Amino acid sequence: MSEKKTTRQAEIVFAAMKAIETSGGEMRISDIYETLAQSFPLSDYEKEQTKSGVIRWKAYLNFYSIEVSKVGYLIKKSGIWHLTEEGAKALAAGAGGFFADFHGKYSEIQKAHEVSVIEENAEQPDDLDMLQGQASKGIREYIIKKNPYEFQDLAAALLRAMGYYTPFIAPKGKDGGVDIIAYQDPLGTTSPQLKVQVKHYPTTAIPVDVVRSLGGVLFKDGEVGLLITSGTFTSESKKEARNYHRRLRLIDIDEFVELWIKFYDKMSEEDKTLLPIIPVYFLKS
């Protein structure tokens, strides 16, 4: 049986789902972007920005991932995409067959709810994922304009919103490898105790030696290293962090923005002014 005719949208979605499958069934969206950017042949047109301000091939992926999710082949949670068992089985049909499968099932779901079928156009401005992507882009650009110490203050504010105390925030000058020390209680008597390094390198992927350097200052039981960047991490850095298991955690710019949005309501009014945002609400279908 020959595979159904493929489109570029089908190939991009299929490549992303296969990448998730290869990674054990789950993958952070930023890692999916990185993997496809490095291994999937993208045209100059696909790499351009759409009218909505997002990269075209990413818009294709985000747009059709809504359909993949609605038919039960994909679960999105906190920036991580999880391929379901049914989704993994559907991949056996190849790019064209997989696309026709979920797209057809989603069309039936829409008809059942008397909603018109989505056109194959990833530039529609009312697509929620694209609007969220555009909003995140604006927040990232705001962060990029900050200086390193202002970004360090943002990181400390986020930790406080997450319930940590930050008794130490490094002043200007050498920090000895640690920019922030954070505890779960005012006296620092409970675990984990976070040793945080903050790197404001928006255009640079953090190399593995920085991860190893942070790991080298984790001396005691209950100490956890946290490396926060306004950019990304190299593949070697991510692998090195995984070797530390739960003792070393990486947060890139995408996850930082997600966490800022998630915990914004828990911030003090003073901390909110460091990066002010407002919620936008849509009717849930």
Q: Residue 1 pLDDT more than 80?
A: no
User: Which residue ranges make up each domain of the chain?
Assistant: 8-125, 145-272
**pLDDT band for position 244 (cuts 50, 70, 90):** confident
Q: Can you give the pTM of this predicted structure? A: 0.61
Give mean pLDDT, residues 210-235: 91
What pLDDT is attached to residue 284?
57
Q: Residue 206 pLDDT more than 90?
A: yes
For the stretch 262-278, pLDDT in tens is: 899 999 999 999 999 88
How far is 248 from 112, CA to CA, in rounded Å?
47
Structure tokens at 273: 């002014």
Nearest to 247 by CA among 214, 283, 209, 270: 214
**pLDDT band for position 219 (cuts 50, 70, 90):** confident
Fold of the 145-272 domain: Trna Endonuclease; Chain: A, domain 1 (3.40.1350)
What pLDDT is attached to residue 272?
94
CATH number of 8-125: 1.10.10
Residue 217 · residue 195 · CB < 8 Å? yes
CB atoms within 10 A of CB 126: 7
What pLDDT is attached to residue 213?
92
Residue 6 DSSP one-character state = P
